[in-house]
Amino acid sequence: MLIIEEHKNTRKQTVSLEKIRQKILEEAEGEAGRIIKEAEERAAAVRQEAEKIAKARFEEEIENEKKTLALEEERIISEYRATTSAEVLRLKNQLIDEVFDRAIERILKLEDKKYLEIIAHYLSKNLCPGVDTLIISQRDQQKISRQWIETMLKKMQKNDLKIKIVTSPEIEGGFILRGEKAEIDCSLRQIIADKKEELTPAISRVLF
């Protein structure tokens, strides 16, 4: 009877230990599951935050790239406009220069009487004491002769002036008056240059 009782007690103890072990295992599994779940949630949150940061950085890089491209486009357009404006200005100036060059050519092709009227006009305005040399172009030496000069001096009542006539290949038309202390440039090229600033706006309106 005693043996049977002891056997029952042993079985009870074994069952109790098994229950304790089972409970410990269940609690351990539950704790492990909780820890795993928390870890997964944290990992998901970290992943989501990382994706958000990555997206924000990507969008920032895109915006920066857009700004860079916009600045580059603006620079290229500005350079193009500057280059184009400079080229247009160069062509305009070239056309204006051609107009004045043609004006010189037309004056040189005038009949002698009209050409000498121009020479006489500038000679009467600029001939003064102290001037002793009249420099003309080689092509004009037949027109602006010694006799013509003496006639002009008489008309201007400046017979006392002694003017020496010399030619220069550097002058296309018109003349240069020269003295010991003065030089007055009335060459056609200089006369046109003096008028250029005054006439350029009007010529530009006609041409452009």
pTM score = 0.56
Q: Which residue has the higher pLDDT, 52 or 103?
A: 103
DSSP assignment of 120-166 equals HHHHHHH--TTEEEEEEEGGGTTTS-HHHHHHHHHHTT-TT---EEE
Q: Which residue has the higher pLDDT, 97 or 10?
A: 97
Q: In the chain, what are the domain boundaries? A: 1-109, 111-207
Residue 5 has pLDDT above 60, yes or no: no
Distance CA 135, CA 184 (A): 10
pLDDT of residue 73: 77
C-alpha of 168 from chain center: 43
Q: For the domain with range 111-207, which CATH number is right: 3.40.50.1820, 1.10.1040.10, 3.30.2320.30, 3.90.1150.10? A: 3.30.2320.30
Distance CA 30, CA 19 (A): 16
Residue 121 has pLDDT above 80, yes or no: yes
Q: What is the pLDDT of residues 71-87, one digit of tens each?
A: 877 888 777 777 777 77
pLDDT of residue 2: 47
In one letter, which amino acid is 53? Answer: I
pLDDT of residue 115: 94
67 CB-contact burial (10 Å; exposed 0-12 / middle 13-18 / buried 19+): exposed
If pLDDT is split at 50, 70 and 90, which confidence band does 208 have? low
Q: Which residues contact 6 (CB under 8 A, 6 or more apart)?
A: none
Q: What is the pLDDT of residues 127-157, one digit of tens each?
A: 888 889 999 999 999 999 999 999 998 888 8
